[in-house]
Structure 1
Amino acid sequence: MTSLAQRLARPEILALAPFDLGDRAVDPDAIRLDANESPFGPLSGGSVAVGVNRYPEPQPARLRAAMAALYGVEAGQFLVTRGGDDAIDLLCRTFLRGGEDKVAVTSPSFSAYAHFAALQGAGVLDIPLRQDFDLEEARVIEAVGGDPSVRLLFLCTPNNPTGTPVDPQAILRIADALPHVMILADEAYLEFSKTPSLAAEAVARDNLLVLKTLSKAFALAGARVGGLVGPAETLEVIARAMPPYPLPTLSIAAALEALQPARRAIHRRRIDELLAERERIAPLIARSPFVARVYPSAGNFLFLETADTAALAARLAAAGVRVRYRPQAAPGGIRLTIGTAAENDSALAAFGVPVERAKPRRAEIARDTKETRIALALDLDRAEPRQIDTGIPYYDHMLDQVAAHGGFSLILSCEGDLEIDPHHSIEDVAIALGQGLRQALGDKRGIGRFGFALPMDETQAQVLIDLSGRPYARFDGQFEASHIGDYPTEMTPHVFRSLADSLGAAIHVTVDGDNDHHKVEACFKCFGRALRQALAIEGKGDVLPSTKGML
């Protein structure tokens, strides 16, 4: 017997197949490489649950301006939406009439295009990609130009699920040839490719829009924040199809935090890390007995053709590794999201390609107070990159000395109340650095633990360090100058005390000399050298340097 809902629902709704989202049940132990999410958590330094008692702005002005600036357009040329899916739905609701109009898609591509068109009762003109998944622009122009009912054309660049890049000039030539059709360039994955954005072109053309999202590169898939780039007059028409308060306050706050200038360097490093992992994984997974082909990818994922897919699926399920199956795109098609190095190694093992690698010693810290906003990323086993901006040039130079002589990568940004004085910024950065070092050290197995002394011209400095887990700071030395540049010399002992407290280390500093610049610099350099010695992996690399059995 049919239900009342089935009897009353529109035929277009009943004809729709549910979205193929795979198994999205909450499993904290699953390795989720199925939905092209960022494997990293959002860069948030505090609570965002403020102001939820009020309705949000229909188009949050600060967020709209921040996202527009991110993509190089004016605020009026960007429309904030609930993720990329909402933008696609808005276009279909705005431009498609049921039973009369069509949307054109190039398959295989993102299934939401056809879904939202069908939701409106519109038809779908399917234009298959070439066998290698490249876009054939002449075929697209011919097919769409020959069907006057097509009002929308969706082009995914790079394509999902195949990862194939699309030449932006080809999209522009298609737009020139089809002036009567609204064209969407979906750039959801563009941050992971070398292809330039079409945002600047979209604002100058009345038949081209660009889709953007913070879900992938900015680790905000759960917040659902995206938008459209295009002429202000076009976006004003599309906005009429939106609900009154489309974005939750929490999503707006999370997006604004993620887009802080202090966070940008960390997002760039994350993208670089995922790209490096993508290049590492591709040739390794090609060795799998289950993999017939690995396609080149410009996204944060790989597309694979597999053999004996049922047996592979059983192995992946047993290992708790989730992937997205796309047999409609290619025989045994699987889309594998690039995760963290550890997650990727687990996936490789499930594919029958075990990889032995040392556990990475990395950390990310987002620390926000009323006085400072700090973002920090470090990698104890890489010497580069080093990128430091505290707003205090001499302090930047000293921290760079610590990282350079410590032999580790450090990306650090701080926005502080320098209009008052540098105290809060210097102190909070030292606290964040100590927290990051402590986090990256993990269980401290294999480290040298101790270290270092050095001369610098007429100055000599000694830093004794013990990564014991017990904080203690001692500083012996005096400075005659009150400042070196904007850096107050009296903060030097305070820096090492803050480091000792947050790192959980005993740090003894002794410095003597005539030149205060040399003396301060010698302290920081010597601390870096002491860290290099203490952080270094010795011997087997699994021995805990303590008779207590813990540090």
Structure 2
Amino acid sequence: MTLARRLARPEILALEPFDLGNREADPDAIKLDANESPFGPLSGGSIAAGVNRYPEPRPQRLRAAMASLYGVAPAQFLVTRGGDDAIDLLCRTFLRGPGDSIAVTSPSFSAYAHFARLQGAQVLDIPLAVTDFSLDAARVIRELKGDPSAKLLCLCTPNNPTGTAVDPATVLEIVDALPDVMVLADEAYLEFGDAPSLASEAIVRPNLLVLKTLSKAFALAGARVGGLVGPPETLDIIARALPPYPLPTLSIAAALEALQPARRAVHRERIAQLLTERDRIAPLIATSPFVRKVYPSAGNYLFLETGETEQLAARLAADGVRVRYRPQAAPGGIRLTIGTRQENDAALAAFGVYVPQATIRTAEIARDTKETRIALAIDLDRPEPRRIDTGIPYYDHMLDQVAAHGGFSLVLNCRGDLEIDPHHSIEDVAIALGSGLKSALGDKRGIGRFGFALPMDETEAQVLIDLSGRPFSRFEGTFQASHIGDYPTEMTPHVFRSLADSLGAAIHVKVIGENDHHKVEASFKAFGRALRQALAIEGKRDVLPSTKGML
């Protein structure tokens, strides 16, 4: 017997290792096993500055930003190293050993029982309903009421791995019936369902805490940033179990970047995309010869009951698709994370469901300067959503005209130094939009490439465009008015020059008329119409519209 085995606590030796599946580094694997976001973090620059110093023990800016996100005061939020650390803190704070117990509703997140056993505490297992994994409040209350050993109850809402939604009223019924038990409502996946958060209830109930994380909806699984919502006195007690410097500087910086107001609209669009994909995948995968049942999900994943599991596992491994196997939850249980359209189609193929391969023409841009912070998401093959906020209403209207007449989705947010002048915001947004269009176009195969004259009352605007990869801008037209609202008309030629430079296109604009509002608007509308023609797929998607062989 080794020295470590002789000296280790029995509780440690009895612990089963976390079942994390195959997490070996493989850049080619399709990772649909860990409920991570398929998107990269929205970062506009380097976040490595300052790592020579210790981070803040209690990062105040991050605490305030996360508290604001969840609608509570900073004193009502405790930042932790992801959700796992919050669970560990609760177990170390409230569970002393064999005389204490934690209650879990199974099947659920394995970390609850793991960290309790690490403390030597007992685990009270209260099964969910066999038919649909629903939470039976009466049973939970009956099993725990009057049990002096029960110190913690963990409720995963929505539940992991089954995706089952939990009614907040059910949680509150349990909380109110068990005043001597600390109840944790784990809302790690709440953003992917319809249920409201219990955060506002946790700050007024002494025995309710709410767990939050930036791992899922904010694409920061690798940064390990989460926290607890609850009464300040309770959080201060739990914080005593924290190490001196709980979060690395890089994690704090990454989280602060992700939580910038300019990023929020794109995060909401990402969630909407994942929900759309979840709704698309569920009925398709139900037709798989391997799938016996698909459960309704309020998370960024689906829970499946499967058959012929060995054959299915071999197919998934051969195709490089990683999933999480959960046979303890249901026969042939598999939790499948929702990824990108391409990843999901690859998973469907591994399950024996084949769908036509779609060309994905999307892009996300995060652009930060000293004057502006910009985030945008663009999809050339969807007409909606269109949500634009630059802080300059008329400019918002013009960009919406471009997207609407261009036939593409645009979610764009800019926070700029408008207190000085609109110039920087207008210019930088045009640069970001051009960069987004260029990125979404990819290799440009199949596009029309060229594109439009447009009349608007007494005004006529003509926009000629060539997505050639060679930037050039020409603007012919004058304006008498200095501004339309807060928008300076002199910026109009500059917008098209910035678009030409960042998009890599030749853009010729000619506008004549009497009303400056009409002339500016006609120019943007005509540009949108020119883009519609140039971006459209014509004929074969693999044909490059150039005799040079490249654009």
TM-score category, normalised to shorter length: over 0.9
- The one-letter amino acid paired with 2:271 is I
| Corresponding position: 1:211 with 2:220 | no
Displacement after TM superposition at 1:146 (Å)? 4.4
User: What aligned pairs does 1:135-146 form with structure 2 within 5 A after superposition?
Assistant: 135-146=135-146
Q: Distance in 2 between matches of 1:334 and 1:412?
A: 37
Secondary structure of the equivalent of 1:37?
coil
Aligned counterpart, 2:69: 70
Aligned counterpart, 1:382: 382
Between 1:345-354 and 1:53-62, the stretch displaced more is 53-62
Q: Deviations over 1:214-254 (max 9, x none)?
A: 00000000000000000001001000010111011111111
Q: Distance in 2 between matches of 1:142 and 1:202?
A: 23
Secondary structure of the equivalent of 1:342?
helix
Q: Distance in 1 between matches of 2:206 and 2:231?
A: 7
User: What aligned pairs does 1:326-405 form with structure 2 within 5 A after superposition?
Assistant: 326-405=326-405
Q: Distance in 1 between matches of 2:384 and 2:291?
A: 34
- The one-letter amino acid paired with 1:503 is L
Displacement after TM superposition at 1:57 (Å)? 1.3
Secondary structure of the equivalent of 2:183?
strand
Q: Distance in 2 between matches of 1:488 and 1:237?
A: 55
Q: Distance in 2 between matches of 1:168 and 1:486?
A: 45
Q: Distance in 1 between matches of 2:500 and 2:537?
A: 21
Aligned counterpart, 2:548: 548
Q: Distance in 2 between matches of 1:430 and 1:3?
A: 66
Q: Distance in 2 between matches of 1:357 and 1:321?
A: 17
- The one-letter amino acid paired with 2:2 is S
Q: Distance in 2 between matches of 1:149 and 1:397?
A: 62
Q: How many residues align?
A: 550
- The one-letter amino acid paired with 2:31 is R
Q: Deviations over 1:283-335 (max 9, x none)?
A: 10011111111111110000011101111011001000000001111111100
Displacement after TM superposition at 1:541 (Å)? 2.9
User: What aligned pairs does 1:23-38 form with structure 2 within 5 A after superposition?
Assistant: 23-38=22-37
| Corresponding position: 1:127 with 2:123 | no
Aligned counterpart, 1:44: 43
Aligned counterpart, 2:82: 83
Secondary structure of the equivalent of 2:211?
strand
Aligned counterpart, 1:106: 105
Q: Distance in 2 between matches of 1:519 and 1:3?
A: 83
Structure 2 stretches lacking a partner, 5+ long:
none
Aligned counterpart, 2:289: 289
Q: Distance in 1 between matches of 2:519 and 2:440?
A: 29
| Corresponding position: 1:482 with 2:469 | no
| Corresponding position: 1:226 with 2:258 | no
Secondary structure of the equivalent of 1:91?
helix
**Structural RMSD (CA):** 0.8
| Corresponding position: 1:313 with 2:283 | no
- The one-letter amino acid paired with 1:259 is L
Q: Distance in 2 between matches of 1:282 and 1:451?
A: 39
| Corresponding position: 1:508 with 2:518 | no
Q: Deviations over 1:350-371 (max 9, x none)?
A: 0000111321211100001111
Displacement after TM superposition at 1:486 (Å)? 1.2
- The one-letter amino acid paired with 1:302 is L
Displacement after TM superposition at 1:388 (Å)? 0.7
Q: Deviations over 1:370-389 (max 9, x none)?
A: 11100001111111111111
Q: Distance in 2 between matches of 1:106 and 1:456?
A: 64
Aligned counterpart, 1:20: 19
Secondary structure of the equivalent of 2:374?
strand
Displacement after TM superposition at 1:3 (Å)? 2.0
Aligned counterpart, 2:525: 525
Structure 1 stretches lacking a partner, 5+ long:
none
Q: Distance in 2 between matches of 1:139 and 1:3?
A: 45
Displacement after TM superposition at 1:160 (Å)? 0.3
TM, length-normalised to structure 1:
0.99
Q: Distance in 1 between matches of 2:82 and 2:69?
A: 16
User: What aligned pairs does 1:252-271 form with structure 2 within 5 A after superposition?
Assistant: 252-271=252-271
Secondary structure of the equivalent of 1:180?
coil
Q: Distance in 1 between matches of 2:421 and 2:176?
A: 56
Q: Deviations over 1:390-426 (max 9, x none)?
A: 1111111111111111111111000111111111111
Q: Deviations over 1:477-499 (max 9, x none)?
A: 11222221111111111111110
Displacement after TM superposition at 1:514 (Å)? 1.6
User: What aligned pairs does 1:125-274 form with structure 2 within 5 A after superposition?
Assistant: 125-131=124-130, 132-274=132-274
- The one-letter amino acid paired with 1:46 is G
- The one-letter amino acid paired with 2:443 is D
User: What aligned pairs does 1:447-486 form with structure 2 within 5 A after superposition?
Assistant: 447-486=447-486
Q: Distance in 2 between matches of 1:173 and 1:96?
A: 24
Q: Deviations over 1:16-55 (max 9, x none)?
A: 1110001111111000000000000011101111211211
Between 1:507-516 and 1:13-22, the stretch displaced more is 507-516
- The one-letter amino acid paired with 1:112 is A
Q: Distance in 1 between matches of 2:417 and 2:68?
A: 24
Could you tell me the percent identity over the aligned residues? 82
Q: Distance in 2 between matches of 1:178 and 1:275?
A: 35
Secondary structure of the equivalent of 2:401?
helix
Q: Distance in 1 between matches of 2:394 and 2:289?
A: 55
- The one-letter amino acid paired with 1:35 is A
Aligned counterpart, 1:495: 495
Secondary structure of the equivalent of 2:236?
helix
